[in-house]
């Protein structure tokens, strides 16, 4: 089987696709990953030996400015990504048997698969944004730009219809223009067209329960985890060995969204609890507040190994970081910034494996209060208990399912 996996987004959108690619290859598939050409993704795919097909602009060029991307930025990016998918995937998938897509609204992928006559699968890493009769669409920053719903609108069905209209406003004209150019009829609901009736959910059942959260017929596989065997840097090992476990602080790719002065605020709050600080530089370029030796700065590092050795993880609530901390049994404080991050913060609090910070900008006082909650034996014991229930075979489950599905479709029908 020949597969092309396509995504555009942050590390949490790319690394699961790489995990699936690795498992598919181990089962004998010929697989490529179509992803943004950021240096860290180029390095990640090179590390595992999976070919990268560059797609669109780098994510860093979009999100790492001095301000968060605006609605106008989204209106420019959406048609650019649609065009990139039609151009790039049409060539890369020409000899493929299946196209699997995820990440930022992958409008254009299903359409290329339709033109080529091959299987299309949509995969998501959370249920945020999937239509539901029980919950309204999210309204936090980072959700879909466009005409807001009328103030006071309470009808959930109407709110989701308005959400679909906002997706059409972003992607509809570009998508249908490209469809017409290759002889395909227009679609009137881009969101539902992309999601299909049966999307795959690559998330842990405890962290992301799906019952009652969407009207779609989800296929649960478990999270797609890429094993990381890299040793920790010697200097980091020395820091970890030189005292009690530190508290990790990182905001990943949240460069423009990172809370103001978060490095200083976090450092003061952590020191107030008598703990050392492990600061992840990330795309926000976090730097220590002073030169004291109780604070260590790390770049891109093996989180699977690191999180098992920290007292707690303070982060933005990306799906990947939340899952990594939960698997490691590390108590966590989620300071959500955009999109699905409030969902993960709420789940962490509901499970008792950490705390959800109220508001996007922590103070020394608010973060200190959250730390007092998570730096307790009870929270660590609960985090360890949840970690013991989490499955690690999601990429294997998905790889086998994809191989079986495509194999059945390729099998000749008996006369």
Average pLDDT for consecutive 10-residue bins of the chain (415 residues)?
97 97 98 97 97 96 74 90 97 96 97 98 94 80 73 90 95 98 98 97 93 86 96 98 97 75 95 97 88 95 98 96 97 93 95 96 96 97 98 96 88 52
| Of the candidates 59, 411, 19, 88, the residue with the CA atom closest to the CA atom of residue 255 | 59
DSSP string, 172-203: IHHHHHHHHHTT----S-HHHHHH-SS-EE-S
Residues 287 and 329: their CA atoms lie apart, in Å, by 26
Q: Which residues have C-beta within 8 Å of that of residue 187, sequence separation ≥ 6?
A: 172, 175, 176, 179, 193
Phi, psi angle pair for 145, to nearest 5°: -75, 165
What are the structural domains, with CATH classification, of the chain? 2-225+393-410 (3.40.50.2000), 234-389 (3.40.50.2000)
Token digits of residue 125: 């890493």
| Of the candidates 199, 220, 228, 218, the residue with the CA atom closest to the CA atom of residue 324 | 228
Q: What is the pLDDT of residue 409?
A: 76
Residue corresponding to tokens 């009808």? 155
pTM of the model: 0.94
Number of H helices, E strands in the chain: 16, 13
Using the CB atoms, write b or e for 386-404: b if 16+ within 10 Å.
bbeebbeebbbbbbeebbe
């Amino acid at each position: 089987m020949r597969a092309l996996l396509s995504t555009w987004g942050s590390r949490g959108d790319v690394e699961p696709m790489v995990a699936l690619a690795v498992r598919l290859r181990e089962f004998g598939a010929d697989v490529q990953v179509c992803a943004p050409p950021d240096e860290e993704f180029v390095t990640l795919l090179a590390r595992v030996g999976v070919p990268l097909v560059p797609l669109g602009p780098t994510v860093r060029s979009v999100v790492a400015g001095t301000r968060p991307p605006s609605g106008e930025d989204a209106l420019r990016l959406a048609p650019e990504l649609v065009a990139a998918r039609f151009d790039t995937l049409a060539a890369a998938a020409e000899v493929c048997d299946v196209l699997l897509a995820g990440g930022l609204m992958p409008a254009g992928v299903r359409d290329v698969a339709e033109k080529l006559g091959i299987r299309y699968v949509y995969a998501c890493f959370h249920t945020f944004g999937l239509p539901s009769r029980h919950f309204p669409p999210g309204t936090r920053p980072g959700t879909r730009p466009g005409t807001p719903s009328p103030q006071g609108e309470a009808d959930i069905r109407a709110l989701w219809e308005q959400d679909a209209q906002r997706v059409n406003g972003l992607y509809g004209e570009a998508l249908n223009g490209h469809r017409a150019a290759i002889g395909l009829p227009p679609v009137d609901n881009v969101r539902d067209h992309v999601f299909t009736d049966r999307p795959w959910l690559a998330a842990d059942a405890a962290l992301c329960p799906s019952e009652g959260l969407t009207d779609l017929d989800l296929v649960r596989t478990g999270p797609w985890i890429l094993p990381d065997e890299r040793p920790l840097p010697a200097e980091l090992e020395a820091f970890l060995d030189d005292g009690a476990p530190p508290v990790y602080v990182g905001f990943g790719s949240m460069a423009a969204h990172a809370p103001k002065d978060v490095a200083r605020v976090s450092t003061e709050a952590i020191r107030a609890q008598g703990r050392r600080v492990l600061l992840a530089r990330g795309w926000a370029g976090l730097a220590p507040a002073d030169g004291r030796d109780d604070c260590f700065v790390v770049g891109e590092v093996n989180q699977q190994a690191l999180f098992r050795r920290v007292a707690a993880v303070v982060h933005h609530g990306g799906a990947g970081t939340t899952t990594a901390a939960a698997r490691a049994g590390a108590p966590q404080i989620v300071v959500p910034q955009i999109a699905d991050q409030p969902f993960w913060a709420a789940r962490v609090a509901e499970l008792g494996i950490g705390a959800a910070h109220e508001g996007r900008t922590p103070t020394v006082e608010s973060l200190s209060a959250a730390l007092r909650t998570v730096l307790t034996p009870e929270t660590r014991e609960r985090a360890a208990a949840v970690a013991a229930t989490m499955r690690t075979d999601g990429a294997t489950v998905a790889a086998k399912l994809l191989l079986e599905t495509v194999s059945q479709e390729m099998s000749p029908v008996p006369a």
